[in-house]
Structure 1
Amino acid sequence: MNFEGKTVIVTGAGKGIGRRTVELLTQRGAKVVALSRSQADLDSLAAETGARGFSVDLGNAAETRRITAEALPADMLVNCAGINILEPFLEMKDESFDTVQAVNVRSAAIVSQVFARDLVARKAKGAIVNVSSISSFLGFRDHAAYCASKGAMDGLTRVMANELGPHGIRVNSVAPGITLTDLARVAWEAPEKGGPMLARTPIGRFAETEDVAEVILFLLSDAAAMLTGVTLPIDGGFLAN
């Protein structure tokens, strides 16, 4: 997949799946505009990949809208930013729920709206990939706010695909299972925690960040020209078991 001449905005670009997505995009010719809360992460990413960075608090709607406008124009968008606050449902705080929805769903809606309005105004085609989770399909304990946010993201993806398709803008989402980011690796490689999940995974391993990033690039590319409104699990068969 070649992205020469394309500019791609990636949110949540500082770490994990977002960072690997930026690395692969730049290796394949794209110019990347990276959005992250951490200026240190943006600085290291710029040094490694040449990505142009914007520090932004995606929980702040007005700031998100302003920074996205500054990041334009672009041809493609990856909404990868996400947070989680673990709380049992009976103890879940209002502010926890609101914070998770603001970052995981509302920011994706805002960034996508600003991005898509610009494409429509320029009569340009484009593609958006939202990073969801298998938590959209499953009710993991202590993940009420997170599961709700990912279900909402998949619903948002379908509406955006329906409304933006006539403008030549495709919108899909990916739903990773357990993905071994630096933080996740520490937790899930412990046999007592990861063992039961691996036992339900036909492929027999957890995803690496590159496994997810490669699918994101596929959905952005012209190879996926007839795909829109799809939520694609990247879970090694976990949901099939």
Structure 2
Amino acid sequence: MQEILDTFRKDLYAGQKVLVSGATSGIGLAIAQGFAGMGAEVVATGTSQAKLDKIRNDPALSGIRFEHLDVRDRAAIDKFVPALDSLFVLVNAAGIVKPDNEFNEDAYLEVIDVNMNSAMRLAMAAHPLLKQSKGAIINTASMLSYLADDRVPAYCASKTGIVGLTRALAHKFGPDGIRVNAIAPGYHKTAMTQDLWSVPEYAGKIKHRTALKRWGTVDDLVGTCLFLASPAALYVTGTTLPVDGGYVNGGW
């Protein structure tokens, strides 16, 4: 990640507070580390107490404040976010997937709630603070905002919804000086995708379809987020930026 951080000014986010949901592992944690590396005061949330307890003891992550927050709980969000006192960037990275189970209504609704509804809850709760700072929101869409996977209908629906929500919030919050964008990750090596990248046959097919002929890493998403929240992107809002190595527009 250091090579990515070296691209930016070291104090780019010094004195600014950044909130990242779903940040105890994978993409969310990498993004939290990226902002912390640029001097931001990062608050990272998750729901697993075991993960939180473990990660708080990691010396490499000492610059990040980890807190428990259930993004399905509107009352908890409405209490938690205003207590931050200030906020410059909100990153909605919380997400789950339940392959083959999402045709069950309960599982379907849970995935929609975590992946999409939580972004709306956090955005609305953060609005007053972001209005004061003229800050930014970064949502997490997916390549499945544009493609289909018949094993995960709720995941596809939620990530497609994030694209629309991003556009709508950009226009709603724009008059207040708040920019709202999203990233659309492709196949990145995380615990969520381990069933694919750990099987050579599947991993090879995915790598072959990308333009760069490799799987993504979580670090590949960090620079994009740092850019979208920065002064370099002051006239960028309402957009979803693919970070998929060319997977979506590739072919077999």
TM norm structure 2 = 0.88
Deviation at 1:45, TM superposition (A): 4.1
* Secondary structure in structure 1 of the residue aligned to 2:13: coil
| Partners of 1:23 and 1:49 within 8 A in 2 | no
1:185 CA drift (Å): 4.2
Cα distance change, pair 201–62 in 1 and its aligned pair in 2 (3 A): same
Task: Tell me the equivalent position of 1:19.
Answer: 29
Query: Are 2:139 and 1:95 aligned?
Result: no
SS of the residue corresponding to residue 14 of structure 1 reads coil
Q: Point out the more displaced range, 8-17 or 66-75.
A: 66-75
In the alignment, which residue of structure 2 is the partner of 1:117? 128
User: How far apart are residue 196 of structure 1 and its match?
Assistant: 1.7
Asked if the contact 2:184–2:241 (Cα under 8 Å) also holds between the matched residues in 1, the reply is yes
Aligned residue in 1 for 2:3: none
Counterpart mapping for 1:29-108 below 5 A: 29-47=39-57, 48-87=61-100, 92-108=103-119
% same residue = 36
Looking at structure 2, the residues matched to 72 and 238 of structure 1 have their Cα atoms a distance apart, in angstroms, of 40
Q: Answer whether contact 1:180 1:206 (CA < 8 A) is retained.
A: yes
Q: Which runs of 5+ in 1 are unaligned?
A: none
What is the 5 A alignment of 1:1-241? 1=8, 2-47=12-57, 48-87=61-100, 92-120=103-131, 122=132, 124-185=133-194, 187-241=196-250
- Secondary structure of the corresponding residue to residue 67 of structure 2: strand
For the 8 Å contact 2:228–2:236, the answer to whether it is kept is: yes
Residues of 2 paired with 1:141 and 1:195: CA distance?
A: 20
Q: Using the alignment, how far apart are the partners of 2:66 and 2:84 within structure 1?
A: 9
Label 1:228 to 1:215 Cα distance change in 2 as closer, same or farther (>3 A).
same
Work out whether residues 20 and 210 of structure 1, in 8 Å CA contact, stay in contact via their aligned partners in 2. Answer: yes
Amino acid corresponding to residue 143 of structure 2 in structure 1: I
- Following the alignment from structure 2 to structure 1, what is the Cα–Cα distance between the partners of residues 140 and 114? 12
Check the 8 A contact 1:26/1:49 in 2, yes or no.
no
1:117, distance to aligned residue in structure 2 (A): 2.4
For 1:191, give the aligned amino acid. P
Task: Name segments (4+ residues, structure 1) moved above 6 Å.
Answer: none
Deviation track 1:103-162 (CA, whole Å, cap 9, x = no partner) reads: 111111011111112333x3x300110011011001112110000000111110000111
- Cα gap change, 1:45 to 1:219, in 2 (>3 Å): farther
**In structure 2, C-alpha distance between the alignment counterparts of 1:85 and 1:186, rounded to whole Å:** 13
Indicate conservation of the 8 Å contact 1:9/1:71, yes or no.
no
Amino acid at match of 1:203: L
Q: Aligned equivalents of 2:157 and 2:33: distance in 1?
A: 30
- Mark the CA change 1:3 to 1:58 in structure 2 (over 3 Å): closer, same or farther: same
TM-score by length of 1: 0.92
Contact 2:101–2:107 (CA under 8 A) maintained in structure 1: no
**In structure 2, C-alpha distance between the alignment counterparts of 1:14 and 1:88, rounded to whole Å:** 24
Deviations 1:188-241 (A, max 9, x none): 142211122222111101110000122111111111111101101111111122
Q: CA deviation at 1:44?
A: 4.4
**Cα separation, partners in 2 of 1:208 and 1:112, compared to 1, 3 Å:** same
Output the amino acid matched with 2:96.
I
Q: 1:151 to 1:72 in 2, by over 3 A?
A: farther
Letter in 2 for 1:107: S
- Distance in 2, Cα, partners of 1:228 & 1:45: 33
Structure 2 runs not aligned, ≥5 long: 1-7
